[in-house]
Amino acid sequence: MNEIRAAIAEHDDSLRKNMERYLRQAGDIQVVGSAGDGGAVLPLLRQTTPHVLLIEPAFPDRDGLELLHHVRQELGPELRIVVITGNTRGTIMERLVQLRVCYFLAKPLALASLEEYVRLAMVEDDCPEGHRLAVERRVALAFRELGARAGRRQYLYSFHAVCAAVEQPQILYDGVTKAVYPMVAKKCGVSIPAVEQGIRSMCEWLWEKGSREALDRYFPPAVYGRSFRPSNSAFVGALAQQLREDWQLWG
């Protein structure tokens, strides 16, 4: 697909305009329309037939979950939905999962990552190769948000370890040392101790120089505590788990 048609539904005028402005700069994304209130969403979608809907469900004039239910009923699974929300209560998230939302983006929204999420939403989840590519792109995006820089060996080892844990969470039951390190070592053509030390170096660098905002998003202080500095296995497992919770392409 050469061009992605995106629609935006967000009641905050300033944020909606910033989202429109940012996405219009992406050469392969066309913003076909936007709505500032819940009552305008379905008419907008009928008129513009977008591929992706970016929506904040907390509309003052309408129940957002009910609206998304009607959107899904009328437009079917072909419409990819990305939800932007500050409400992550369990009951809300469960209903959004049932509506087959592709991604949940937390507020405050990082506009710099927005276009990548739009592209990721378009990856066919029933295609094994597409699924693998989507996992790699999603993990790479998370590392970029955390402040990690590609091109270093510790980045490569950590990247492959988290990708494996996202795709195959059962490997963590066998232990990072027994299952993940050997797999990454074989893939990268290095020793197991080199992989272990590389991931350790990545963790130390992120907790000293990485983005604190992103660290708090992927490793919430309310869950892990303010003084959390993970072991390799905790880092790989917690990040992979958070990515799986955020991303609902697993069905």
From the list 154, 184, 180, the residue with the least C-alpha distance to 237 is: 180
Residue 45 has which token pair? Answer: 């979608």
Q: What is the pLDDT of residues 108-143, one digit of tens each?
A: 777 877 887 888 788 645 445 556 667 887 888 889
* Residue 94, pLDDT score: 67
* pTM across the whole model: 0.59
Q: What integer best gives the mean pLDDT of the chain?
A: 84
User: Could you give the 3-state DSSP secondary structure of residue 63?
Assistant: strand
> Which is nearest to 57 in space by CA: 99, 2, 119, 25?
99
pLDDT for 194 equals 92
Contact predicate 102/121, CB 8 Å: yes
pLDDT given at position 44: 96
pLDDT at position 145: 86
Query: How does pLDDT run across 144-162, given as a tens digit for each residue?
Result: 889 887 778 899 899 999 9
pLDDT for 6: 96
3-26 tens-digit pLDDT: 899 999 999 999 999 999 999 888
Cα distances (Å, whole numbers) of residue 84 to 47, 55, 95, 193, 201: 22, 6, 14, 41, 33
> So what's the pLDDT on residue 130?
55
pLDDT bin (cut points 50, 70, 90) of residue 249 is very low
pLDDT tens per residue across span 23-62: 988 888 999 999 999 999 999 999 999 999 999 988 988 8
What's the pLDDT tens digit per position in 170-202? 787 777 888 899 989 888 888 999 999 999 999
| Mean pLDDT confidence for 83-109 | 73
pLDDT at 196: 94
* Cβ(31)–Cβ(6) below 8 Å: yes
Beta strands in the chain, from DSSP E residues, in sequence order: 4-9, 29-35, 52-55, 80-85, 103-106
